[in-house]
Structure 1
C-alpha cells in the first residue's frame, strides 16, 4: 500500500474486515465516537473488550471442563461475551456466542464444547483484527504528535 497514508490503510483494513464478516456496523459506531479530544478511544475500547473477553473465556473453560456443568453460570458468561462482542462489532463471534447460548439452553455439553471451540477461533480472529486496528491507530496518533498535518483516524 505504498503511497497511501496509515489512515487510508486503516479504512481499507476495516472495510476488508467488514467484507469478511469479522466486523459489522457496530464497530463503525465505536469508531465514530473517537474524536480529537479522545484520539485513543478505539484503542481503549479494544483493550477493555480483550481483557473482559479473556476473563469470560477462562471462566467458560473452567465451567465446561467441570464434571457437572452449571448451565446457569455458563449462560451468564456466554450472555456477557455475546453482548461485548456484539457491541464492538464482532459479527462472527457474536453469532458463535448465540449458537453457544442455544446449546446451553439445551443443556447439551458436547455441543457446547464444539461450539465453544469455534467461538474461541472467532475470538482469535477478532482479536487479531482488533490488534491490527490498534497498532494502526497508535501509529496515526504518534505521527500526528510529530506532524500535526498528518490526517487523523477520525
Structure 2
C-alpha cells in the first residue's frame, strides 16, 4: 500500500478482519490496552491465545478420536476454547465453538467431528490474521522504539 504508514496498514488489516466477521469488538478492547508502558501487549496476548488454543484443540482431538467419547470432558475444553477465542475477539471461531458445544450436548459424535473441522479451519484463519498483526506490531514497536505512533 503505497503512501500509507505501517500503522495505517495495520488498522486497515484489522478493519478487514472485522468486515469479514473474523474479529469483533473484543479485539479492539485488547488493542486499547496496549500503550507505551506495554508496547508488546497485543503480541503477548496473541501468543497466550495460541498456546491456549493449541492445547484445547489437541485435547478435543484426543477426546473426539476415542471410541467412547467423554462428552463432559470434551465440553470443558470446548468451553475453554470458546472463551479464549471470544476474549481475544475471534468471533467466527467462538461461534463455531458454540456449535460444537451444542453437538457435544447432543452427544452426536459425527456432528462434533464435522463442526470441529470448522473450528480448526476458523482457528487457522485467525492464526493467519494474528500472525500478520503480530508481525506488524513488532515492526512498529521496533521502528518507534516502543512508543505508540
State the TM-score, normalizing by the size of structure 2.
0.98
Deviation per CA, 1:24-78, whole angstroms, max 9, x where unpaired? 0000000000001000000000000001100110000000000000000000000
Deviation per CA, 1:67-120, whole angstroms, max 9, x where unpaired? 000000000000000000000000000000000000000000000000000110
- Structure 1 residue 65 and structure 2 residue 70: aligned? no
Give the structure 2 partner of residue 55 of structure 1.
55
Give the structure 1 partner of residue 35 of structure 2.
35
Distance 2:118 2:129 in 1: 17
Distance 2:84 2:30 in 1: 12
Shift of 1:2: 1.2
- Structure 1 residue 110 and structure 2 residue 121: aligned? no
Distance 2:118 2:42 in 1: 26
Q: Aligned to 2:145, what secondary structure does the other structure show?
A: helix
Give the structure 2 partner of residue 129 of structure 1.
129
Give the structure 1 partner of residue 85 of structure 2.
85
Give the structure 2 partner of residue 12 of structure 1.
12
Q: Aligned to 1:107, what secondary structure does the other structure show?
A: coil
Distance 2:4 2:136 in 1: 13
Alignment RMSD (CA, Å)? 1.1
- Consecutive unaligned residues in structure 1, runs of 5 or more: none
- Consecutive unaligned residues in structure 2, runs of 5 or more: none
Give the structure 1 partner of residue 21 of structure 2.
21
Runs of 4+ in 1 over 3 A off after TM superposition: none
Q: Aligned to 1:81, what secondary structure does the other structure show?
A: helix
